[in-house]
Structure 1
Amino acid sequence: MFLRRAARRSAPPPPTSSDAHSEMRVTRSVPIIRRAADVFAFIEDPASQLLLEDEVVAAVRMPGTGPGVGEVQVFLHATPEGRSIRSLEVLEYEPSTRVLVRSLDPLPAGMLEATTELSISADGPDSCVMRHTARYVLAAAALAEPAASQWAGYLGSWLESMHVRAQRTLEADLA
């Protein structure tokens, strides 16, 4: 299996054993009746987010990057509160099966690291399972338990919504 890793020059240093921290993971998966390679090709294209998230109004791969390790994807979000830009960098890349990205955006207070892993695994010749795992490393007591639970609930709902849209979009012409 081919795996490339990006240098983490601009990433914050990982917490040391003396640093008090906690980790939060939220994982969601969805079966899709499509070949795994086709699903991965769709999802790795930044433009797919225009179909998967209502708030995304523009999506680009930064010129000179990717696809693959070091790729930077930028998304313009428009909400009633205004516009914002979100960006991701690819840290690890296994063609057609797995990608690990990190947020390049300023993180909320107390959040030390934010990464998301996407994996696509074949579940038959014409079907697969798409899985996202969002991982957040938090400073000690950065989020009180009720806030952490709310954040995990929000992330789970967001992933579920994106998965439902991906499933509908990719299976639409099968109906």
Structure 2
Amino acid sequence: MAVDIVSVLHTGVFLAVVLGLYGWLVGVVWTPFLVSKRLRQLFDALPPREWLVNYVLWIPLPAVVWGFLFGAGLSLSRDVLSPGTASPLYAAGVDGIVLATVVSLVLWPVLLLYILPEKGIDWVPEGDQPNAALLVVAGVVWYLVFLVGPAYVFTLFAGFGDSFSGT
């Protein structure tokens, strides 16, 4: 089976845009994490150095990245893997969800806890790394719940319809 790069990129970019817009809605249900002074410091440390503006600008970013990975994984899985007895859309959707979620669970904590401080955006006070790590991981998991849940429901219904259409 050949990989259609244009299809992979198209699906990835499309879902990145759609889920990026949805990311603002996720940002609304993610606001309880702003009670933490640490996360407000993170958003304050990013350019343009105003935490509320940065929250509105940066909060859709994880959804954009997750959406691209989900779409690319879904498309790539449909091109390469055999679904076995499952619906091709369902199997590919689950592959995309797993890929995007695993990458996100590694990417965001590494970026926020190691790469940003190394690049001069030090938002974690000395000695508070364990609390910050716990806060970041909890925030990532909470954010992903609102991405994975709807994506799985979409995949389930798309696969259900796919199996009835005989595809």
- Give the TM-score, by structure 2 length: 0.39
Higher helix share: 2
Rg bigger for which structure? Answer: 2
Higher strand share: 1
- Give the TM-score, by structure 1 length: 0.38
